[in-house]
Each structure stands twice: as structure tokens, then as C-alpha cells.
Amino acid sequence: MILSILFIFSLIFSFSNAAVQDFCVGDLGLPDSPAGYLCKKPAAVTVNDFVFSGLGVAGNTSTLIKAAVTPAFAAQFPGVNGLGISMARLDLAPDGVVPMHTHPGASEVLIVIQGSICAGFISSSDNKVYFKSLNKGDIMVFPQGLLHFQINAGKGPALAFVSFSSPVPGLQILDFALFANDLPSEIIEKVTFLDDAQVKKLKGVLGGTN
Amino acid sequence: MILSILFIFSLIFSFSNAAVQDFCVGDLGLPDSPAGYLCKKPAAVTVNDFVFSGLGVAGNTSTLIKAAVTPAFAAQFPGVNGLGISMARLDLAPDGVVPMHTHPGASEVLIVIQGSICAGFISSSDNKVYFKSLNKGDIMVFPQGLLHFQINAGKGPALAFVSFSSPVPGLQILDFALFANDLPSEIIEKVTFLDDAQVKKLKGVLGGTN
Amino acid sequence: MILSILFIFSLIFSFSNAAVQDFCVGDLGLPDSPAGYLCKKPAAVTVNDFVFSGLGVAGNTSTLIKAAVTPAFAAQFPGVNGLGISMARLDLAPDGVVPMHTHPGASEVLIVIQGSICAGFISSSDNKVYFKSLNKGDIMVFPQGLLHFQINAGKGPALAFVSFSSPVPGLQILDFALFANDLPSEIIEKVTFLDDAQVKKLKGVLGGTN
Amino acid sequence: MILSILFIFSLIFSFSNAAVQDFCVGDLGLPDSPAGYLCKKPAAVTVNDFVFSGLGVAGNTSTLIKAAVTPAFAAQFPGVNGLGISMARLDLAPDGVVPMHTHPGASEVLIVIQGSICAGFISSSDNKVYFKSLNKGDIMVFPQGLLHFQINAGKGPALAFVSFSSPVPGLQILDFALFANDLPSEIIEKVTFLDDAQVKKLKGVLGGTN
Amino acid sequence: MILSILFIFSLIFSFSNAAVQDFCVGDLGLPDSPAGYLCKKPAAVTVNDFVFSGLGVAGNTSTLIKAAVTPAFAAQFPGVNGLGISMARLDLAPDGVVPMHTHPGASEVLIVIQGSICAGFISSSDNKVYFKSLNKGDIMVFPQGLLHFQINAGKGPALAFVSFSSPVPGLQILDFALFANDLPSEIIEKVTFLDDAQVKKLKGVLGGTN
Amino acid sequence: MILSILFIFSLIFSFSNAAVQDFCVGDLGLPDSPAGYLCKKPAAVTVNDFVFSGLGVAGNTSTLIKAAVTPAFAAQFPGVNGLGISMARLDLAPDGVVPMHTHPGASEVLIVIQGSICAGFISSSDNKVYFKSLNKGDIMVFPQGLLHFQINAGKGPALAFVSFSSPVPGLQILDFALFANDLPSEIIEKVTFLDDAQVKKLKGVLGGTN
């Protein structure tokens, strides 16, 4: 009886030479595709491909913004490749700030684990600001591609985890996009209406040239 | 100067009568669509539509499974409607178990906030089990639609938050699907190979009939 | 006149060096991607890549479940790769059963060609069972990811063809997922509420260990 | 013990007022959406919404083309709404033909149940024809949007079932699109290079005007 | 002969009561859905629903930015609803600028019709700027969600048309998002590193409060 | 102060070894995937990958159809790969015609830049023709996969640009699909109802055989 069922078991997929695709752990050494990294061979996949411990460690907040973002996107955690989801950790020391930024490819949901955080986003249709102070256990959703920010609203450190609707959400931090590259100051001023002194000051701080 | 810029501001979208869709907070009173709930009128939307506090409260674990799942799907948190993401809270008392289940419409990523959790999933292609004990700060991803489970692996209570790649991930708990309805025992036995006594025992416990 | 039109013909796509992608026959020897197999070179594609004869032969039903599933997924029939569809053949001898299973990545539609089949699925939202006896020519749809089954409801053999909304629908058979691997019995019992004797009996039959 | 588990059962979704979306049976009386029909209320859904018997009856082939196409798209079979799949039945009497046509919104897979059928499609990139005589049990895939046809290649009647990668695949039959409406003959001739006599003859047969 | 073919014609879709969905012209008076506006009844649709003349008229550039953006998104041109595409017109007087902005929901391709335009975007992964002067007939693509800008690079007026990969691409203009609402200056300064004087100056110009 | 911010800057992505995917410029030398070409290495990408000048030159209209289509699809303009959009240029000399055709994989929007163009498409559900004369600045949308055409409706040359909702829209020109290959005349006649003389005449003109 055992034998015959086992026999069936192998028969059921008599034509299957490669089987179905339950997951596609990214192989970062192969070329990328528009849908994500190419897949590691299934035989080489272990449970460790689906587990990531990098978010268990606080990021370094001994910095000017007094905050750190630690991503677990497909590039750091190849197990999420192709699965439509990823995460990151936010650490905010007192007065810490995650500066104004967007995720070009994903919506985000944030959960406060410790402390309190003032978070907000700005709609594109009418420039309306949606912001609120969030406490431990509160969650907030940030629609895809919109400018948003997080500020430590308490006296102690704050900790939050964020999840994204894509394994490659992207992260475009406004100040770095404007001031941490070689885009000529003249162009920046034209397209942002900022004063020359302001632009040059922030370029100086953030390492921009031209 | 101020006037003329404000003037331009209104001109830029001189044809816009309804503007673009940044979000679509679900109106649960209207009919559902294949892509999610129809949208609440933008003018009625406030920041509170994007914030949910229901995950800040521990679920009731004074039960047989000693665990509770508290969802923040589109039906509970209409702000995520149409945004490709949602969350839930897992509370596991000592010996607590989230029984074998699937999410038919989403991949999941879990982060351990407190305690330690043994979590695993089973691939469909070769029935291989991927499971591991996770500690505080560890994250694990569960590919869409595959059977998976979580067990409290420590001595104290455990807490985790899970995120999904859909606002309507679904949750099909195996035992409830099999034993908490009126599917005739004879059919259950035929399609699961379970013994009649086993089926009737669990139907008794879970409220199934026939 | 002929010449000049032919001339135009070649001119119309004067910039086209690789042309558009009508199809992407899977090359099973190359790495997989999250969107499916990489494509065979168009020049090597023939009509035989789009035709599959494997479903014309009855599967072996001389087994305990008295049924056989013969897939024509992308792994067996690379012509469907990237096209959002695939098929399989179900043969059910008298008393044959396709055991409780899910397709993690696709909805399914079944058509009865011969005999009569009792088919059903279980919703995740309220564990409601939708099942019915189907006769020749009847079709039934099974929503993505939900547990479902098929049983020969007649006295003679039954034949059905099923189609899926993905070239890689996956197939997770509940009993194989639970009992045909090395997931420890203790864990299985915890997450399914099944008795130890029941688990060990089915592990014995299906080849599971631990 | 029973009570307490039942108690948990209700607790697990204490916040759930509408539950998740396993399916979205189309309500044809409500407005349509870009993603398909709006959903019938779940409480009104029965197993009969997921079963369709219209494909069990042969279409009328006592006609000039000696063939009939019987659709089970979302408009005929609202159970497939939102599920990414649909079907149709092809009956071909001896000499029967399903004329050149496209499905603008879906790929198709065909299975021959009776007789033999010559089927083919034409690629857009190089106008190459892929066609072959198919016998009972053979399947063939037709990539989305490409012109294709089916001809009875045997002496007796032929029967096939086709599945589509969308609940609303569309069906644009070339001759009806060209000759069964009021598009002026002069325009048709300009954009097809067909002779005036040919156009007028087919307009006469198919009921076109102008 | 005519009669019999016409007869077949009506028979072919004997079950079709609503037919397939070729398009879904938006009905702006009905609720919106996550996939776009609900559809106008097909019987009320005319060719004028698919044609839009609003881009034939130059926008008003007698303003401070000396530029105008005229959208033909789903809200202005309901014929594109559900079709994955939309357009807009850019008019740039000498020295005109389309300020730094993003489209949260679409990629964009721009074609220069008149004059010359300096256009650029900034990548999120490494803050690299990709910019170039474009002449008549040149096209440039801007990946989804990334900050980008256009500046008149010639001495006369410039005209460009842009297309988007969505009927609702959104348009978030950086300065309006930051300075044309009631987001408190203190918060803006914290999340942008801008000086208080700079923030208040631009709030003054753009009508922001707080 | 500068140093410490720069220091944070590098810390923020301390785990990032490959960064996120803002774009995926196609590498035409690598295998294709169902989601588009594999990506060129980011380090090799320059602004020139995102700019294409091929549409600035009129196509050759000194031909029988007196028209030319110049594509900027992913194969010609790899910068649009994976971004859901592409373009083409239409030149129509007096009496020029873009013959009846479909794009199997995309919707299209056309803008008239010069002259006037009579454009139309045919619905699949009821074979209704939607056509109109378009003037400079008018735009028209053509839903995915439907037969459509463009005719110069003025006395001088006409110029239009078209955009597509896919980087690989495809282009199947009806006459080339029917008459510019080796599909046997007997089959063509059977599936199109065209007369033998008509088929052979057009095969002669367009280079078809058999």
C-alpha cells in the first residue's frame, strides 16, 4: 500500500522536469531584469535565503540627522525578490529626522515600535499635507511616490519598521537628490526657486559640486 | 510677484476638474470591485484614514491556540485600499501557535518584536519545508499562497508584525477550512486521507457539521 | 509596382534590429526570472514550440488515489511561458480523487469531458464550502489560492481538462505538503491539531520522516 | 474545550467587518470598471455562480461558416470576473472554419476534444505563420492579440475548448470588423488594398453599409 | 446566402448579453476605483470620447515660471481611462521652466516639437543626474517617480508633448508640495535642512501658511 | 559638521551593495525575458541611453502607401525597456495611408503635429467604427489590440507622433500578416472569405508565396 501511493506520487508529475516557481531568490551576480533579479538555482536555496537578521541591529544615529534607515530590499535580502514586498528599519534618536523623501516604486506602511513619531505625506493633486503624531503600535500608510517624512516626536529614541509593496521600492531623499551630486547650482536654482546662497550652503554640507 | 505666481499656479491645471488619484481610501458601503473597494470622496478624506491604531493592542491569547491574529487589511484599515500593502499583528502566549494557513492573495514578511518564533513554509514544487527559529529583529518572508505556520519557540510571550503584498491578502486557516463548515465528513476523508474518527473529533472541536 | 511596395515594407522598420516580442518561448536551460523563463531565440522557434501533445494520453490511474494529474505548465510546455495561461489533464478512474490542494499562483477553470465529477472549493473569508456535481460540458471556476478538490462522482471513468491563469500556477497537495517531507511530527501536530497516530500513519503512507 | 476554541475562532477576526476578497462574482447590473464588473454581494453568492453549463451544448453549425463559437466570458459567466481566466467552445462541422480573428485582451490555449483541426497564428514582428494540424488531445497556444484561425481538418465534426488569460478576452473577427458595419468602402479599400468589387461583395454578404 | 451568414453572425454570440470590454470611458460622476473611473455605458460612447482637442491650444506662459503644463489625464480626457496611457502639453516661453517634479504613478516620454529644452532626472540609487539639451525631434524618457525638470534652452519659445504610462500619472511639483500648503515652517526646515528665511520667502511667494 | 553628515550619508545604506532599480536600460545582446530585455549594468548607463534622436528625421514616404512608421520601441530605444511606454513617428505624404493594423500589446495615443489625419478604430464587441478627422493638436486614443488606421485627410503632408502603453507594443499590419508570407492561398481564402483572384493579386504585390 505504501509503495503504490509513493508510486503515484512520482507519477503525478511525470512530465515535470523543472517544476513550478514558488519563489525566485535573487542571484545578485547575474544580470537584472525589469521584473527583478534572475533566480538562484532552486537546489541551492536554503531557509537562510528567506531569513534576514540585518534589521535586528540599530542603525548608527550618532549623526547630524540623528536617524538611520536600514533597508532589507532585494539587494540586501534576495529572498524577497519577485515577491512584491520588502522592509526597512528606522532608528530615530531624540530630535532625529528622516528627511523628506519618496519611494518611486512602492507604497509604504510604518509601524511604531518605540517612542513617538510625527509622520506625514503630501498629496500631488492639491498639495494637501496629511500628518500626525503616531504612538507605539500605530500604523500609517504612505501612498506610492509621494513626498513624506518622519520626525522623532518624543523625548527618547524612537524605533519603527516600514514595509513596502515592492522588493525594489527605491528611496529618493530630497536633499541628496538636489545637493549631493554635480547638478549645476544655476539649474537647481531655476527649477527649485531656491536662493543661490541656500543652494551653495547645502551643496557644501552634502558634498555637491558645480 | 506673489499674485502672478499664484495666478500661474491656478493656470497650470486649468483643465483639471477632478485631478489625479494619489490614493483611494475604501468606502466599505459601496460595492466592491476586482481591484478593491471603490474610493471615498477625496474631500472627505483626512489623515485619520491613513492611520490605524488597532495593532497597538494585544489580541486575546487566553485561548486554546494561545495566539491571536489581528488584521489591518483593507476591510479594517480602508486607507490601504488599492495601495498593494497591508499588515497584521501576531500575539503568541507561551506555547501559542498560529496554525497552518495560507494567504491566497499575497506574500508575507514577518518581523519578530519580542520573544522567539519558529516559523516555516512548505514549497509546492517538491514539498520541501523551510523553517527556522527566529529571534528579536529577524525577518522572514513567506512566498504567496504557500502553507506556513508560526509557533512560539521561547518561554515568554512572543510578538510579531507581518506585512502583506496586497491590501486583501486573505487568510485560509487549514483546520477551519476543513473542519469548521458543513463539508460532509465522507468527502473530507476522501480528499485528505484522514481517518473518520480524526475528522469527527476535529469537527466537534471546531464546530463543523455533517 | 511590386518592387516599390516591397521596398516600403523594408523601410517601414528601418530602425528595427530586434523587433517586438510577440511571445517568449521558455529556454529551460537559462536562469529563471520572476516573470518566467528567459526566451528562446526567436530564430529557433517553430510551430512545435506552441503545440503540446502530452495531454492526449491518459495519466496512470492504477494507483491508490485512482487519479492522475498531467500538467502542461511552462516547465512541460515552454510555449506558454510569459503568456499568462497553462493547462493540465485530470483522469479519474471510478472512485478516483484529486486530493485537497491549492494553486498558489493562479485561478483555475475546469471542464468535464467525460463522466461526472464532484468538485468544490472553500472560501477563506468564512470557510464556506462551494461544491457541486458537474456533468459533461459543465465548467467550474476555482478562485486563486483556495483549497479545492475533485472526486469522481460517477460509476465510470471521468476526464476533465483544467486551465490556469498563469503559466506557473503551482500545485500544493495538502497531504504531500504535510506528510511527504521531514517536517517533525511534533510540529505538524501543533499546527494542524491532528493526533499523533494520524500524523504518523500518513507519514508512513506518504514517505515522510521525523 | 470546544467552547474555548470556538471563542478564539470568533476573536481572531474581531476587527473584521467585511473580510477579505476571495472572489468577485460580477453584478452585470452595476457599472463596469477598468478591472471588471463590480462584485455581487458575497451573501448572495452560491455555488451556481461558479458553475456554467452553457458550454455543454453544441453551437449551431448549420451555417455558411459551418462553425460556432460559444463564449463563457465574464458577461456570460460572471463567476470568472476578476479571476484572470475564461473559456469558450468551438464547434466545427465538416468544412467548418473559425475565421481569422484576434483576442485583443488575452492569450488563448486550445484543446482538441474531437476530430482534427488546422490552427495557426501570424507573428507581428516578421509576419511568420505558425500553423499545424492538431489531433485529439493536442493543445496549442495563441499569443495575445495576434491574428489566428481554426479550420476543421478532418472529415467529421470537430470540437475544441479554448481558454483565455482574461475574463474579458474580446473577439475581433476580421471580416465582421471590416465588412459588417458602416465604414465607407472607400476607406476600407484605402487601408486594406482590397478591390472595390471585393469589398462590396463582402459588405453585401455580411450586412455592411456605405 | 446573405441571410444565412447574418443568421450565423447573431448566433455566434448567442449567450452574450453585455459583450466584452474594449474600453472603459470614464464616467466622472460615479465613484472612482483603484483601477480608475467606472465606465460610461457603452451605448452612450461616441468617437468624441476618444478625441481630445485641449492640447492644441498653447498654455498661458505669461507668468513667473514662463511655462505651462496642460494635462490630458483621465480627469480631462476620460477616453484614456483604464488604457494605461495619457498625455500633456508643455509650453515654455524664453527662460521658461517646468520646476522640479515627480509623477508618482507613471514613467514619461517627452518629444520636442519646437525649440530646444534642457531636461534631466535624478536617480534614487546614487543621486546621479542624467541631463541633456534636447532639440526638435529628440525624445527622452523619465523613469517612474524620479525627480525631473525641463528648462527652455533656446532663445525662442519651446513646445513639447509628453506621454505617460498611466491615465493617472499624478504630478507633484516640489515647490508647491513644500511651500503651497499649511505644513509648519518648523517641520519643513527640519526635513529639508532649508533655512528659515528661505522657507518663509517661498511660502510667501507660493501662498503657504504656518 | 560637513564631515558628520557625509558620514551619515554613507551609513544610511550601509547594507546596500547593489541599490535599487530606478530603470533597466535593455541590453539587446543578452537573452530576452517575458518582462523585457535584461538590464545593462548601471555603471555603463549614461544620459544618452535615455535620449533617442531617430524620430527627428522624417521616414521615407516616396512609396506606394506614401507613409512611413518609424518606431522607438525597446528594440530601437533600449532606455524605455521595463518602463511601460514607447513612441513612434508617422509621416504621411498627400494620399498617404497607414494601413489597417493592430498593436497586440498596447493602447496608443496619437497627436497630430502637422496637417490633418482621418483616424479610426473598430470595436470588437459590436464591430462599431469610431473614426474622425483630426487636426493639428488633436489627440486620439486607440484601445489595446483593436484594428485601426490613419489616412492623410489634407492636401499637404501630415505628421503625427504616437505613444504606446508598453515598450514592446507590437505592430501587426493586416495586409502583411495576410499576404506577405507563405500561408497557402487556399487557407487565406477560407478564413477571410476573400476571392482567390484578390488573394493572389495582393500576394503578388506584397511578396507572399503559396
Residues A68 and A134 in one domain: yes
Residues C83 and C105 in one domain: yes
- Which of B1, B10, B11, B12 has the most E C-beta neighbours within 10 Å, making it the best mutation to test the interface with E? B12
Minimal C-alpha gap between B42 and chain C (Å): 29
Minimal C-alpha gap between B198 and chain C (Å): 7
- β-bridge mates for residue B32, sequence order: B37
- Which of C121, C125, C192, C195 has the most B C-beta neighbours within 10 Å, making it the best mutation to test the interface with B? C192
Q: How many helices (H) and strands (E) does chain D have?
A: 4, 13
Mean of pLDDT over chain D: 91
pLDDT of residue C4: 46
Give me the count of residues in chain F.
Answer: 210
pLDDT of residue D195: 97
Residues A161 and A75 in one domain: yes
CB-CB under 8 Å, D151 with F191: yes
| Tens digit of each residue's pLDDT (9 = 90 or more) over B127-175 | 999 999 999 999 999 999 999 999 999 999 999 999 999 999 999 999 9
Measured distance CA(D159)–CA(D4) in Å, rounded: 56
Measured distance CA(A178)–CA(A197) in Å, rounded: 14
| Residue D186: inside a domain | yes
- pLDDT mean over F154-172: 97
DSSP A105-127: T--EEEEEEES-EEEEEE-TTT-
Residues B124 and B159 in one domain: yes
CB-CB under 8 Å, E54 with B15: yes
Residues C186 and C125 in one domain: no
Minimal C-alpha gap between C201 and chain F (Å): 44
pLDDT of residue B72: 97
List strands edge to edge, sheet with C148-152. Answer: C129-134, C117-122, C148-152, C97-102, C172-173
pLDDT of residue D21: 78
Q: Residue D125: pLDDT band by 50, 70, 90 thresholds?
A: confident
**Does residue D201 register a pLDDT over 70?**
yes
| Residue D37: inside a domain | no
pLDDT of residue A16: 36
pLDDT of residue C21: 78
Within the 138-177 window of chain C, which residues sit less than 8 Å (CB to CB) from chain B?
143-147, 149, 151, 170-172, 174-177
pLDDT of residue B21: 78
pLDDT (tens digit, 0 to 9) for every residue of chain B, 210 residues total? 444 444 444 444 433 333 447 999 999 999 999 999 999 999 999 999 999 999 999 999 988 899 999 999 999 999 999 999 999 999 999 999 999 999 999 999 999 999 999 999 999 989 999 999 999 999 999 999 999 999 999 999 999 999 999 999 999 999 999 999 999 999 999 999 999 999 999 999 999 998
Would you say F81 and F30 are in contact if contact means Cβ atoms under 8 Å apart?
A: no
Residues F90 and F133 in one domain: yes
Residue with cell 512609396: F63
Provide the phi-psi class of A192: left if phi over 0, else alpha when psi is between -120 and 50, else beta: alpha
| Tens digit of each residue's pLDDT (9 = 90 or more) over D160-197 | 999 999 999 999 999 999 999 999 999 999 999 999 99
C-alpha dist (Å) from residue B78 to B24, B68, D20, D25, F25: 9, 21, 12, 21, 37
Would you say C56 and D138 are in contact if contact means Cβ atoms under 8 Å apart?
A: yes
| Tens digit of each residue's pLDDT (9 = 90 or more) over D42-62 | 999 999 999 999 999 999 998
- Which of C21, C32, C39 has the most A C-beta neighbours within 10 Å, making it the best mutation to test the interface with A? C32
- Choose the closest CB to B34 out of D5, D30, D36: D36
pLDDT of residue A3: 42
Measured distance CA(B110)–CA(B89) in Å, rounded: 10
pLDDT of residue B63: 83
Residues A182 and A158 in one domain: no
Q: Residue F125: pLDDT band by 50, 70, 90 thresholds?
A: confident
Would you say D181 and F128 are in contact if contact means Cβ atoms under 8 Å apart?
A: yes
DSSP F15-41: T-SS---S---B-TTSPEETTEEPBPP
Q: How many helices (H) and strands (E) does chain B have?
A: 4, 13
**Does residue D143 register a pLDDT over 60?**
yes
C-alpha cell belonging to residue A95: 530630535
Q: What is the CATH number of the domain that holds B121?
A: 2.60.120.10
Which of B6-20, F7-21, F160-174: highest mean pLDDT? F160-174
- Choose the closest CB to F207 out of C6, C24, C37: C6
* Number of structural domains found in chain A: 2
Phi then psi for F133, rounded to 5 degrees?
-85, 125
Q: Closest Cα partner for D168 from D104, D74, D78?
A: D74
| Residue D8: inside a domain | no
Q: Residue A7: pLDDT band by 50, 70, 90 thresholds?
A: very low
**Does residue D1 register a pLDDT over 50?**
no
Residues D70 and D141 in one domain: yes
CB-CB under 8 Å, B201 with C195: yes
* Range of the structural domain that residue D123 is part of: 44-52+59-170
- Choose the closest CB to B169 out of D20, D30, D41: D20
Helices E2-12 and D196-206: crossing angle in degrees, nearest 10, is 60
Query: Which residues in chain E come in under a pLDDT of 70?
Result: 1-20
Within the 15-44 window of chain A, which residues sit less than 8 Å (CB to CB) from chain C?
15-22, 24, 27, 30, 33-39, 41
Residues D111 and D72 in one domain: yes
Measured distance CA(C34)–CA(A24) in Å, rounded: 6
| Residue F196: inside a domain | yes
On the CB side of C186, CA atoms within 13 Å amount to 5
pLDDT of residue C6: 46
C-alpha cell belonging to residue D84: 484572470
Question: Structure pTM?
Answer: 0.94
- For the annotated binding site of B, the residues are 101, 103, 108, 148
pLDDT of residue D11: 40
CB-CB under 8 Å, E139 with F165: no
pLDDT of residue B44: 94
- Does the CB of A132 have a partner CB in chain B at under 8 Å? yes
Counting one residue from B and one from D, how many pairs have CB atoms under 8 Å apart? 92
| Residue B115: inside a domain | yes
Residues B143 and B181 in one domain: no
Would you say F85 and E165 are in contact if contact means Cβ atoms under 8 Å apart?
A: yes
| Residue A8: inside a domain | no
Within the 70-99 window of chain C, which residues sit less than 8 Å (CB to CB) from chain F?
81-82
CB-CB under 8 Å, F182 with D129: yes
**Does residue C125 register a pLDDT over 60?**
yes
| Tens digit of each residue's pLDDT (9 = 90 or more) over A116-133 | 999 999 999 899 999 999
CA angle in degrees (0–180, nearest 5) for D46-D48-D53:
170
Residues A154 and A187 in one domain: no
Residues C194 and C139 in one domain: no
Question: Which chain C residues are closer than 8 Å to F201 by Cβ?
Answer: none
Task: Name every residue whose Cβ is closer than 8 Å to that of residue A179 and which is 6 or more positions away in sequence.
Answer: A188, A199, A202, A203, A205, A206, A207, A208
Mean of pLDDT over chain B: 91
Nearest residue in E to A200, CA atom: E194
| Tens digit of each residue's pLDDT (9 = 90 or more) over F69-117 | 999 999 999 999 999 999 999 999 999 999 999 999 999 999 999 999 9
| Tens digit of each residue's pLDDT (9 = 90 or more) over D60-97 | 998 889 999 999 999 999 999 999 999 999 999 999 99
Counting one residue from C and one from D, how many pairs have CB atoms under 8 Å apart? 160
C-alpha dist (Å) from residue F112 to A113, B1, E77, F156: 56, 36, 16, 13
Counting one residue from A and one from E, how many pairs have CB atoms under 8 Å apart? 136
Minimal C-alpha gap between C66 and chain B (Å): 12
C-alpha dist (Å) from residue D140 to C18, C52, D71: 25, 6, 18
C-alpha cell belonging to residue B32: 466592491
| Residue A9: inside a domain | no
**Does residue A80 register a pLDDT over 80?**
yes
| Residue C23: inside a domain | no
Question: Which chain D residues are closer than 8 Å to C106 by Cβ?
Answer: 84-85
**Does residue D12 register a pLDDT over 50?**
no
Task: Name every residue whose Cβ is closer than 8 Å to that of residue C173 and which is 6 or more positions away in sequence.
Answer: A12, C99, C100, C101
Measured distance CA(C74)–CA(C51) in Å, rounded: 12
Q: Closest Cα partner for C185 from C208, C165, C154, C159?
A: C208
